[in-house]
Amino acid sequence: MIHVALCGYGHMGKMLQQKIKHCHDMEIIMIVNRCNEHDLYQLKQPIELMLDFSHPDYFSMVSRYVKYSGCALLSGTTGFSSAQYDHLKSLGSKSRVLHSVNYSLGTAVMLKMIRSVTPILADDFDMEIMELHHNQKQDAPSGTAKLMLEAIDPDKKYKVCFGRSGMVGTRQKEIGIHSLRGGSSAGEHSILYLGNDEKLEIKHTAISRQIFAEGALRAAYWLLQKPNGFYDLDQMIEENFYGCK
């Protein structure tokens, strides 16, 4: 039995809790927050896996326990500072760590497509990113939009425009990112390649947030098979998934 500590009890945490109830070989031992952190260290069962879908403010708590226990860490927390992200990567020397801001397999494939297509079109096409999320999402642009920007422009050769307003003049060497918020959308991400008399759009639409929980559990089973190290979704999708039975 894989004993799990869950940090973060928002929409994603609750979906993970429901899905894990149907796993024959995994169970949540504790839902962790800053008020009960001490109880983590008193558990009789060893924690093999921490699922963290919380907030950057919780990272020091998560990091302490991973260093103490050596448990695997699957993180979907967004909004880390550069220092926090570097610290997260360093935990790979102590345990198995995987971080992604989006656990959709379709999104992972979309990012690989972007990395392949952009070098072919970049000289002749303008590029814009659009993302749409529900009206409760707090950050903008989304973490996935930032991954798309990194896939398009890993060397940061372009100016980034977060929307446009006023007399902005003619387009320069730039990439626009446009964040739309409203309704209950689980998430839509598009990149537009805009050329003379033609347009190519690569788009991913999440019909339900359930796909993120399912992807996270697949990633968790995969991570538990690996040696210590820091992993990303690209590495994971190159190998077979181990799903929840």
Pick the CATH number of 2-103+209-237 from 3.40.50.720, 1.10.10.10, 3.30.450.40, 3.90.1150.10: 3.40.50.720
Whole-model pTM: value is 0.81
pLDDT tens for each residue of 174-218:
999 999 999 999 999 999 999 999 999 999 999 988 999 999 999
pLDDT tens for each residue of 91-102:
999 999 999 988
Cα separation of 205 and 5, whole Å?
Answer: 30
Chain-wide mean pLDDT for the chain? 93
Query: Of 28, 81, 36, whose CA–CA distance to 56 is shortest?
Result: 81
Identify whether 204 is a catalytic site residue.
no
Q: Where are the domains of the chain?
A: 2-103+209-237, 105-205
pLDDT tens for each residue of 21-58:
999 999 999 999 989 999 999 999 899 999 999 999 99
Catalytic residue among 133, 178, 189, 204: 133
Cα separation of 171 and 175, whole Å?
Answer: 9
Percent of the chain with pLDDT over 90: 85
What's the topology of domain 105-205?
Dihydrodipicolinate Reductase; domain 2 (3.30.360)
Identify whether 137 is a catalytic site residue.
yes
Q: How many other β-carbons are positioned within 10 Å of the β-carbon of residue 115?
A: 14
Catalytic residue among 14, 134, 137, 146: 137
